């Protein structure tokens, strides 16, 4: 028996760019004021005054079987999961 496993890709977008900000609004449902209170703003340099963090998410690009803590499940192409706000420098989850 042959099993087709799902393939996924992890993407990152910075909140100081328009795309990253729109993705954060879409996936997390947070407005600019709440995002600013969580990630803060740059205080020096060429990005002074812009939002500091980034958003990271995982997207299934090829459907198939995906292992989980409870055994497994079928993952379909285009599924978005594991959405996180991260620190732009360290990559640690906020």
Q: Which residues pair with 14 in a beta bridge?
A: 54
Assigned domain for 19 exists: yes
Assigned domain for 72 exists: yes
Domain count along the chain:
1
Assigned domain for 91 exists: no
Assigned domain for 28 exists: yes
Q: Which tens digits make up the pLDDT trace of 1-27?
A: 788 999 999 999 999 999 999 999 999
Assigned domain for 63 exists: yes
Q: Which tens digits make up the pLDDT trace of 44-93?
A: 989 899 999 999 999 999 999 999 899 999 999 999 999 999 988 787 88
pLDDT of residue 74: 94
Assigned domain for 17 exists: yes
Task: Output the CA–CA distances (angstroms, integers) from residue 5 to 17, 42, 64, in the order listed.
Answer: 34, 41, 5
Assigned domain for 16 exists: yes
Assigned domain for 50 exists: yes
Q: State which residues form the domain around 15.
A: 7-86
pLDDT of residue 93: 87
pLDDT of residue 73: 92
């Amino acid at each position: 028996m042959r099993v087709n496993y799902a393939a996924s890709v992890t993407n990152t977008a910075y909140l100081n760019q328009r795309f990253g900000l729109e993705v954060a609004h879409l996936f997390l449902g947070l407005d600019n004021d709440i995002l600013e209170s969580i990630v803060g703003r740059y205080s020096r340099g060429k990005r002074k005054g812009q939002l500091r963090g980034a958003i990271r998410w995982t997207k299934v690009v090829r459907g198939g079987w995906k292992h989980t803590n409870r055994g497994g499940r079928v993952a379909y192409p285009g599924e978005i999961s594991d959405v996180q706000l991260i620190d732009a420098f360290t990559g640690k989850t906020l």
